[in-house]
Amino acid sequence: MSEATITHSGHADSTVTKGKSAGVVFDMSEGPADPASYDVFAPFYDAFTAGSDYDAWAGYVLALADEYGLAGRKLLDLACGTGNSFVPFLRAGFEVTGCDASGAMLAEAARKAPAARLVEADVRELPTLDRFHLVTCFDDSLNYLSEERDLASAFGSIAANLHREGLAMFDLNTLLAYRTTFATDSVSAHGDVIFAWRGASRADAAPGCRADASIEVFAPRGRGLYERVTSVHAQRHFPRERVLDALRRAGLACLGVHGVLADGGLVPDADELRHLKVLYVARLAEGGVDE
């Protein structure tokens, strides 16, 4: 396996090597990792999402992208995490760039997919890396943005990286997700790693609500001992009209909003109270930015 190399945006000349792919080492000299960052959750992310069928999802997304006239094979996957969301596209022959704010998530992606170009950057302030035919952002990553202006900035990053005929496709959690998944507790296991999900939202959460969930990981460390790792996932709901407004302000035109079914299948009409996620499709607007 090749060495994991991750470029930091903003320091285009300094390619930062985070560590050997066989065992990435992180500098903990600044104290314990922030539980609100994905860095603490990165080693467990793939086990936590082992039940997700990323291949099927990519198949549904690609079929829809073709319907909307996908014009080429250059993909930018924003908030790509450990690479699961872009790996099926790599296999399908796409030239892939992945971007994420978490160096630890990207280190996992680099080990998994040395062929991808990886950039450590915040989705709100991504410079133009190229002009991509498809810009994706999946698995409710944009719900981690806490303000509408952050969402508009993220859409600005998308616009700055879209090919003139390119498509942007991103999903968001619905109100149903914040009234159910984020409002309940559950326990799951993958192998001998145990995950306890605690949703702090409410069954009557209102449109635009903020919602936290924490995930406690219990990972065996030998001799009957378990390491406990806590990550906090602070999200917010973005109602459709706010999303459409933020898209407009970033110079993007919405082409469609689709409902996401439990198996990842997509339906033409999205319903905030029937689907757990919705998928937006957008492209550059004719006149550009609409102030």
Ligand X SMILES: C[S@@+](CC[C@H](N)C(=O)[O-])C[C@H]1O[C@@H](n2cnc3c(N)ncnc32)[C@H](O)[C@@H]1O
Per CB under 6 A, residues contacting ligand X are 38, 79-81, 84-85, 100-102, 105, 122-124, 138-139, 141, 144
Instruction: Indicate the residue among 139 and 272 with the shorter CB distance to ligand X.
Output: 139
Q: Phi, psi (5° rounding) for residue 7?
A: -95, 135
SS (H, E, C) 68-120: CCCCCCEEEEECCCCCCCCHHHHHCCCEEEEEECCHHHHHHHHHHCCCCEEEE
Min. distance of Cβ 269 from ligand X in angstroms?
A: 23
Neighbours of 55 (CB within 10 A): 13
CB closer to ligand X, 232 vs 253 = 232
The closest residue (CB) to ligand X is 81
DSSP 18-53: EEETTEE----TT-SPPTTSTTTTHHHHHHHTTT--
Q: Which of 115, 112, 82, 84 is nearest to 97 (CA)?
A: 115
- DSSP H/E element including 144: none
CB of 124 to ligand X, least distance (A): 6
Cα–Cα distance for residue pair 41/215, rounded to 1 Å: 9
Residue 45 Cβ, how far from ligand X at the closest point, in Å?
A: 7
Residue 148, phi then psi, degrees to nearest 5: -65, -30
Shortest Cβ 223–ligand X spacing (Å): 32
User: What is the C-alpha separation between 52 and 30, in angstroms, rounded?
Assistant: 34
Helix (H) or strand (E) holding 121: none
Minimum distance from CB of 198 to ligand X (Å)?
17
Phi, psi of 178 (to 5 degrees): -80, -15
Q: How far apart are CA 55 and CA 43, in angstroms?
A: 21
The residue (of 8 and 69) whose beta carbon lies closer to ligand X is 8
Which residue's CB is nearer to ligand X, number 148 or number 285? Answer: 148
Please identify, using beta-carbon distances, which residue of 10 and 69 lies nearer to ligand X: 10
Q: How far is the CB of 172 from ligand X (least distance, A)?
A: 12
Looking at this protein, which amino acid is placed at residue 81?
Answer: G
CB of 243 to ligand X, least distance (A): 16
Q: Cβ closer to ligand X: 36 or 285?
A: 36
φ/ψ (deg, to 5) at 208: 85, 5
The nearer residue to ligand X, 97 or 102, going by C-beta atoms, is 102
Cβ distance to ligand X smaller for residue 61 or 193: 61
Q: How far is the CB of 70 from ligand X (least distance, A)?
A: 19
